[in-house]
Amino acid sequence: MKELQEKIRKEGIVLPNNVLKVDSFINHQMDPKLMKKIGEEFAKRFKAEGITKVLTIESSGIAPAIMAALELDVPVIFARKRKPLTFSGNLFCASVYSYTKKETNEITVSKDYLLNSDTVLIIDDFLANGQAALGLIDLVEQADAKVAGIGIVIEKSFQDGAKLITDKGYHLESLARIGSLENGKVTFVNDAVLSI
């Protein structure tokens, strides 16, 4: 997605350990016009799948998930990283390790909202090692629902996540695929080196 790549090129910051900081437009401050276009693009790529729900993980996946769900005219569910007091034992749970934060979270979704009749589109902001996506897939499978596909805003193609997901046979669509973050520069897959 050209607009997203341009935004990464202009505002993204490459940090040590292959971290791409995009908090000025995706995961702290958000660009609503870009989010709308991201939602439209996901809806276009998955519209034929018969999606009944969009599932994401809090908090950075919520904005693109809402925009995609708005276009698809379906509800959004977000997996919580901390179980609220209002949740009873009626939950699907999965463990997700975050390499960025160096912690494991138990993510939860109420069984009231994820049903075996659902066809689910999973949306997240980043795909690196694939742990968040695999955790969300686990929740859908616990519900005996169908995973329609996984939509990723930014994929770090030089890490294992995309291969893990596609090797399991899931339909993966990533809007920006990064081939390298070496020397503080973003190189998109099948694109020229873009300096940040």
Ramachandran region, residue 81 (left: φ > 0; alpha: ψ -120 to 50; beta: rest): alpha
Backbone angles phi and psi of 83, in degrees to 5: -75, 120
Is 0.75 topped by the overall pTM?
A: yes
Kind of pairing, strands 119-127 and 103-110? unpaired
Give per-residue pLDDT as tens, 38-47: 999 999 999 9
Domain boundaries, given as residue ranges, for the chain: 2-195
DSSP code, position 80: B
Q: What is the pLDDT along the chain (196 residues), one digit of tens a residue?
A: 999 999 999 999 999 988 999 999 998 899 999 999 999 999 999 999 999 999 999 889 999 999 999 999 999 999 998 776 666 678 999 999 877 778 888 999 999 999 999 999 999 999 999 999 999 999 999 999 999 999 999 999 999 999 999 999 999 999 999 999 999 999 999 764 444 4
Q: How far apart are CA 135 and CA 20, in angstroms?
A: 22
Q: Tell me which architecture the domain covering 2-195 has in CATH.
A: 3-Layer(aba) Sandwich (3.40)
